[in-house]
């Protein structure tokens, strides 16, 4: 019994989470002067929140779906797209960087065909004038262009071997489009075993007739049959000399003139109306029959010199297919796979369906995306608001923290701070009675500790102490989310009093963040990182479902 947690489930869960993020207020919060041991427990969550030093809001534009970074490199073998295999964690796309293209950015291409697992030799070159955005390279690979990343966005958001999807353009409702897909490719499953097929090439010798007649000459008279009706039921692939127009016709009549060496075809539609020009080139090929619940797919076989069908070329991919089969119609003459005295062997075809609505429609599903990235940063301007001193040792993601103003009124979401300082600023002329990382506290009338904090920083120019890690088991003051009592003096570690300057209301600044509020989604602890006025932090998270 197989139990499969589908990539679709993971992708949709990632979608829902990102949707939740962009509709919420998410913050990166930095905590703990000295390292704490973060765990997935209520105690650890409280400890992280009780020691928060500062926070920075995550902007919606800095939240991305992420995929693994697979750079295009010569001699790599990429996995071709196949609807019958699990492509999760497979190298089925390539990122062509600035060193391998002339666009100056990063172009992401999906591998549709890898030429029988051949190593790559030539990167796909993007061209704005290519309508299909499908490219065949000299090494035989077939690539579908998916999206691009500017050099700036690549450098800003790539992390831990992952790059962002250009999600703002490609996030679609995963259940809104269910009409079906295109025929992405038709694989030959017995490449080395099929045998007995022929191909004849030539060019038109006269202008096309409006009576559905075409006249031509073979490139090699030794390759074409003189038997009347020999190629009936096969296809005639016609390409104008300028390659601007190609047509595929069904052959309804065939005759070879032994005197002139000219062949005559009657085809199933008017070649004049189809735009066939005089001197066009043609190929006689076995016909590929494609059946399914969609419409419009057309393909021709690629035949090697030994009479084997090596692969197929799709002239039209069609649309709205959910189920499709394909076969090579047996040539009428000189092909007898059921005759034990002959070596003729039918080619077995397996059509490959694209994702619903075609390649490039929904990048989240197509890239099997179940990772997302969150980016945040601290700037020099932020340092003016949160301070640039001491150390921190823990970071976390907190959703929907609450903020209140000095009148204890909840701050509306559209007015919440983009960056906040969670320290209490106290102005006291007794600042010289303590040191940075010293401990100060308050005692009530019963000599019980009701407030305790670490001195995070001292501003000697303004006689201001910045107090951190002040949360604990103490009872909060009325209309406040901490226990600092403005009517009590601070005491240093030896019991010396430190009087708050008066008027007290203007010499104490409490943070707007409501302590312990918000839901913690992620926490990471590390060795203590120092901060200075030159500190400029970047935070990059890559997570998966």
Half-sphere exposure at residue 107, Cβ-oriented, CA atoms within 13 angstroms:
21
CA separation (Å) from 508 to 56, 335, 345? 23, 96, 90
Q: Please indicate whether residue 243 or residue 27 has the higher confidence score (pLDDT).
A: 27
Bridge-based pairing of strands 519-530 and 200-204 is unpaired
Element (H, E) at 154: helix 151-157
Mean pLDDT of the chain, nearest integer: 93
d(Cα 31, Cα 239) in Å, to the nearest integer?
69
Read off the pLDDT band of 167 (50, 70, 90).
low
Residue 168: pLDDT over 50: no
Phi (first) and psi of residue 46, to 5 degrees:
-65, -45
Residue 166: pLDDT over 90: no
Query: pTM here?
Result: 0.85
Q: How many residues does the chain have?
A: 545
At which residue do the structure tokens 């943070």 appear? 511
CA separation (Å) from 250 to 255, 265, 267? 15, 10, 6
Residue among 256, 268, 276 nearest 211 (CA): 268
How large is the average pLDDT for residues 207-220?
Answer: 95
Contact between 199 and 283 under an 8 Å Cβ cutoff? The reply is yes
Residue 407: pLDDT over 90: no
Read off the pLDDT band of 177 (50, 70, 90).
low
How large is the average pLDDT for residues 364-382?
Answer: 92
pLDDT one-digit tens code per residue, 473-498: 999 999 899 999 999 999 999 999 99
DSSP line for 7-74: HHHHHHHHHHHHHHHHTS-EEEEEE-SS-----SSHHHHHHHHHTEEEEEEPPGGGEEEEEE--B--T
Range of 93-102, 153-162, 446-455 with top mean pLDDT: 446-455
pLDDT at 169: 44
Chain-centroid distance of CA 223 in Å reads 50
Sign of the Cα pseudo-torsion (353, 286, 196, 139, in order): negative
At which residue do the structure tokens 């600035």 appear? 98
d(Cα 232, Cα 263) in Å, to the nearest integer?
13
Residue 535: pLDDT over 80: yes
How large is the average pLDDT for residues 218-247?
Answer: 94
Instruction: Extract the tokens encoding 447.
Output: 């000599």
pLDDT at 465: 97
Contact between 227 and 390 under an 8 Å Cβ cutoff? The reply is no
Contact between 235 and 251 under an 8 Å Cβ cutoff? The reply is yes
Element (H, E) at 354: strand 349-356
Residue among 309, 292, 521 nearest 396 (CA): 521
d(Cα 99, Cα 432) in Å, to the nearest integer?
59
pLDDT one-digit tens code per residue, 240-291: 988 778 999 999 999 999 999 999 999 999 999 999 999 899 999 999 999 9
In 294-333, the DSSP E strands lie at 295-303, 309-319, 324-328
pLDDT at 357: 86
Q: Which of 111-115, 225-229, 243-247, 477-481 has the lowest average pLDDT?
A: 243-247
Beta-sheet strand order (sheet of 162-164): 162-164, 63-68, 371-377, 538-544
d(Cα 426, Cα 462) in Å, to the nearest integer?
10
Residue 315: pLDDT over 70: yes
Residue 172: pLDDT over 50: no
Contact between 486 and 464 under an 8 Å Cβ cutoff? The reply is no
d(Cα 399, Cα 414) in Å, to the nearest integer?
15
Element (H, E) at 505: helix 504-507
pLDDT one-digit tens code per residue, 38-80: 899 999 999 999 999 999 999 988 999 999 999 999 999 999 9
DSSP line for 108-152: EEEEEE-TTTPPP-S-----TT-SS-EEE-TTS-EEEEEEEE-HH
Element (H, E) at 213: strand 213-218
Q: What share of the chain is helix, strand, coil (3-state, %, to 5)?
A: 10, 40, 50
pLDDT one-digit tens code per residue, 494-516: 999 999 999 998 999 999 999 99
Instruction: Extract the tokens encoding 423.
Output: 């320290």
């Amino acid at each position: 019994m197989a139990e499969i947690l589908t990539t679709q489930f993971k992708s949709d869960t990632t979608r829902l989470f990102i949707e939740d993020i962009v509709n919420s207020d998410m913050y990166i919060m930095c905590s703990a002067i000295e390292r704490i041991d973060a765990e997935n427990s209520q105690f650890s969550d409280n400890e992280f929140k009780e020691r928060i030093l500062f926070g920075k809001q995550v902007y919606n534009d800095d939240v991305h779906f992420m995929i693994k970074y697979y750079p295009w490199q010569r001699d790599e073998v990429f996995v071709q797209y196949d609807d019958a295999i699990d492509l999760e964690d497979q190298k089925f796309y390539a990122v062509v960087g600035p060193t391998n293209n002339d666009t100056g950015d990063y172009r992401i291409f999906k591998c549709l065909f890898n030429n029988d697992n051949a190593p790559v030799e030539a990167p796909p070159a993007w061209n704005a004038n290519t309508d299909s955005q499908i490219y065949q390279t000299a090494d035989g690979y077939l690539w579908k262009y998916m999206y691009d990343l500017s050099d700036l966005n690549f450098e800003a958001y790539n992390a831990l071997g992952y790059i962002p999807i250009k999600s703002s353009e490609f996030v679609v409702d995963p259940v809104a489009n269910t009409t079906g897909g295109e025929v992405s490719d038709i694989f030959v499953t017995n490449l080395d075993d099929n045998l007995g097929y022929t191909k004849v090439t030539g060019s038109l010798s006269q202008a096309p007739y409006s009576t559905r007649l075409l006249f031509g000459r073979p490139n090699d008279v030794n390759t074409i049959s003189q038997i009347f009706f020999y190629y009936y039921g096969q296809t005639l692939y016609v390409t104008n000399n300028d390659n601007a127009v190609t047509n595929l016709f069904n052959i309804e009549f065939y005759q070879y003139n032994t005197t002139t060496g000219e062949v005559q075809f009657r085809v199933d539609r008017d070649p004049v109306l189809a735009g066939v020009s005089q001197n066009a080139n043609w190929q006689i090929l076995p016909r590929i029959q494609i059946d399914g619940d969609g419409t419009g797919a057309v393909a021709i076989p690629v035949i090697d010199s030994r009479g084997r069908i090596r692969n197929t070329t799709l002239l039209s991919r069609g649309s709205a297919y959910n189920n499709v089969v394909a076969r090579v119609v047996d040539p009428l003459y000189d092909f007898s796979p059921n005759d034990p005295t002959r070596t003729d062997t039918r080619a077995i075809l397996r059509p490959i369906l694209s994702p619903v609505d075609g390649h490039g429609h929904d990048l989240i599903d197509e890239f099997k995306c179940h990772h997302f990235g969150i980016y945040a940063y601290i700037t020099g301007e932020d340092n003016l608001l949160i301070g640039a001193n001491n150390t921190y040792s823990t970071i976390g993601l907190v959703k929907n923290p609450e903020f209140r103003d000095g009148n204890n009124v909840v701050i509306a979401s559209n007015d919440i701070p983009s960056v906040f300082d969670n320290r209490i600023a106290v102005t006291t002329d007794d600042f010289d009675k303590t040191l940075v990382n010293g401990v100060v506290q308050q005692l009530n009338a019963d000599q019980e500790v009701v407030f305790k904090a670490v001195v995070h920083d001292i501003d000697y120019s303004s006689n201001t102490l910045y107090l951190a890690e002040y949360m604990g088991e103490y009872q909060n003051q009325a209309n406040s989310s901490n226990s600092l009592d403005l009517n009590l003096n601070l005491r240093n570690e030896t019991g010396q009093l430190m009087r708050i300057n008066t008027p007290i209301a203007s010499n104490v600044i409490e943070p707007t963040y409501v302590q312990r509020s918000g839901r913690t989604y992620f926490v990471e602890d590390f060795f203590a990182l120092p901060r200075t006025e030159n500190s400029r932090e970047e935070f990059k998270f890559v997570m998966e479902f």
